[in-house]
Amino acid sequence: MLTSFTRNYYDNSTEAGFQFTFYCDICNDGFKSSFIESETYKKGKLFRGIGDGVYAIGSIFGGRMGNLGYGADRATDILSERFTDRSPEWQREHELAFEKAKTEAVRHFQKCPSCNKYVCAHCWNEEEGLCTECAPRQEVFVARARAEALRRNIEDAGAAATVWTGNIESKTTICPVCGKPAGSGKFCNNCGASMAMKICPSCGAKNAQTGRFCNNCGTNLMQAVSVQAGLCKACGTQNAPGTKFCGNCGNKLQ
Chain segment 108-153, per-residue pLDDT in tens? 999 999 999 999 999 999 999 999 999 998 888 888 889 999 999 9
Q: How many CA atoms lie within 13 A of 149 on its CB side?
A: 6
Confidence of residue 47 (pLDDT cuts 50, 70, 90): low
Work out the mean pLDDT of the chain and round it to a whole number.
78
Q: What mean pLDDT comes out for the span 79-106?
A: 79
CA 200 to the chain's CA centroid: 53
3-state secondary structure of 174: strand
In degrees rounded to 5, what are phi and psi of residue 241?
A: -55, 135
Query: Which of 87, 84, 93, 94 minimizes the C-alpha distance to 12?
Result: 94
Task: With residue 222 as reference, give the H or E element that holds it.
Answer: helix 221-227
**pLDDT tens digits, one per residue of 150-208:** 999 999 888 888 877 776 655 556 777 777 887 777 788 888 777 777 788 788 888 87
CA 42 to the chain's CA centroid: 46
User: In this structure, how many other beta carbons lie within 10 angstroms of the beta carbon of residue 133?
Assistant: 15
Give dist(CA 144, CA 97) in Å, integer.
42
Q: Are 20 and 9 contacting, i.e. CB atoms less than 8 angstroms apart? A: yes
What does the pLDDT read at residue 29? Answer: 93
What does the pLDDT read at residue 132? Answer: 94
What does the pLDDT read at residue 68? Answer: 38
* Partners of 10 in beta bridges: 21
Q: How many CA atoms lie within 13 A of 230 on its CB side?
A: 8
- H helices of 25-164, in order, are 39-61, 63-84, 88-105, 138-160
